[in-house]
Structure formats: C-alpha cells, structure tokens
C-alpha cells in the first residue's frame, strides 16, 4: 500500500473510532490557531482576548430584573461564559454557532467569563 493511501486510512480509522467531542475540540483548536486567536486555557482575568469557538448552550434570562443572555463558549481548550447584560434576544446567537469573540476576561462564580463581548458570526465549516 502506498504511504499516502496508508495515511488516508489511518486518518479515516481515527475519525471513525475517536470520541466526537475530542474531534470537535481538536477542530476548534486548529481553527483558532489558523485565525491567530488565543486559547481560553492560556487567558487570565483582566486580559483583553480574541477567541474563536462554538456556542455549546445559550440561555435567555428575561424574568429577572436584569435581563441577560448567557452562553457557554468552547474553543477546544476550555469553556468561557459569555454574558450579554440588558438583552433578551440576539439574532444569530444560538447553540452550535461558531463565533469570534473579543473582550476582557472576568470571573463569574469561579468560571472565566466575558461580559458584553464583541462578536462576529463565523461560517459553518
């Protein structure tokens, strides 16, 4: 078997047998590196960051006096909570969407968070 063919089958076998979450995380890390973005695991409180990742969950909290939208953002290395204060809905902010986000890393309940981040929706690959 030719070396190129052997490499193809090795990659195919890996993609069929490896955990989907691991493959997704690896893909997000590669996308992040290609765009020059930072990794969440390397960021610390107070730092201005630019990251690329995917929304794992989105929740609107309109019943409280302070309406907000909270989203769990994963870049392949670590999860960061995104919080838009004073918003009840943001078009395009949905579970599964890929975003580029910019903002300052803060802390919310012991988790990394970015409040009112700048964001750009990215094309699905």
* Torsion sign over Cα 55, 56, 61, 66: negative
111 touches 81 (CB < 8 A)? yes
DSSP 116: S
Is 26's pLDDT higher than 90?
no
Phi, psi of 24 (to 5 degrees): -65, -45
Question: Among 45, 49, 41, which residue's Cα sits nearest to residue 75?
Answer: 41
* CATH number for the domain harbouring residue 64: 2.40.50.140
How do residues 39-92 score in pLDDT, each as one tens digit? 888 888 999 999 998 898 999 886 656 788 999 998 888 899 999 998 888 999
Mean model confidence pLDDT for the chain: 81
What's the pLDDT tens digit per position in 80-124?
999 999 888 899 999 989 999 999 999 988 999 999 999 999 876
Return the bridge partners of 96, or none: none
Which has the closest alpha carbon to 81: 69, 97, 65?
A: 69
Give the domain range for residue 108: 3-121
Structural domains counted in the chain: 1
């Amino acid at each position: 078997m030719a070396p190129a063919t052997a490499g193809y089958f090795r990659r195919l076998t890996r993609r069929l047998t490896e955990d989907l979450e691991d493959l997704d995380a690896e893909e997000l890390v590669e996308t992040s590196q290609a765009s020059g973005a930072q990794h969440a695991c390397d960021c610390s409180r107070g730092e201005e960051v630019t990251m690329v990742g995917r929304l794992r969950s989105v929740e609107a909290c309109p019943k409280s006096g302070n309406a907000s939208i909270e989203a769990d953002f994963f870049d392949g290395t670590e999860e960061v909570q995104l919080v838009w204060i004073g918003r009840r809905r943001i078009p395009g902010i949905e579970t599964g969407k890929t975003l580029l986000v910019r903002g300052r890393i803060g802390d919310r309940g012991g988790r990394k968070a970015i409040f009112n981040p700048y964001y750009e929706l990215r094309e699905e690959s």
